Structure 1
């Protein structure tokens, strides 16, 4: 009888430890999921910042080329033509 009681107590202790570990891991998982979400949000913000900076850089390159400070007028003309085509596409979309 004593062996049975010891086995039951041992089983209860192991079950309690298992439940405790489960709760700990559950909380840790929630924290990690929240951190992951925060990091993904920051990554998206940084990617958008990079896109904005590239656009600003392209605009600056065009402005410098138009100003005459650069020697790549052909690139500037191509960029202006590309911008005009994009504007035309936008106008067509707005008209529809």
Structure 2
């Protein structure tokens, strides 16, 4: 009879320990999910900022080549013409 009571008591202790661990893991999971969400928002903001900076850099490159030599000016005009042709192709595709 004493072995049965000890076994039940040991089972009770282990069950309480499991419940404590479970509650701790639930809280830890909640904290980690919150941090993950914050990091995802920060990442998307940084990606948007990177895209903005890339666009500004491209504009600056074009502006710098325009104020440069004739060769740079020629390259810029070629780039602009290529962009215009690409836009025209897109318009044709959209209209068809």
Given the two structures, how large is their TM-score scaled by the length of structure 1? 0.78
Matches within 5 A, 1:1-96: 1-68=1-68, 71-85=71-85, 89=90
- Residues paired across the two proteins, number: 95
Unaligned runs of 5+ in 2: none
Change in CA separation of 1:5 and 1:87 when aligned onto 2, cut-off 3 Å: same
The Cα offsets for residues 41-81 of structure 1, whole Å up to 9 and x where unpaired, read as 11111111111101001101111111236853343123322
Larger relative contact order (C-alpha < 8 A, sep ≥ 6)?
1
Unaligned runs of 5+ in 1: none
Q: What's the RMSD between the two structures over aligned residues?
A: 2.4
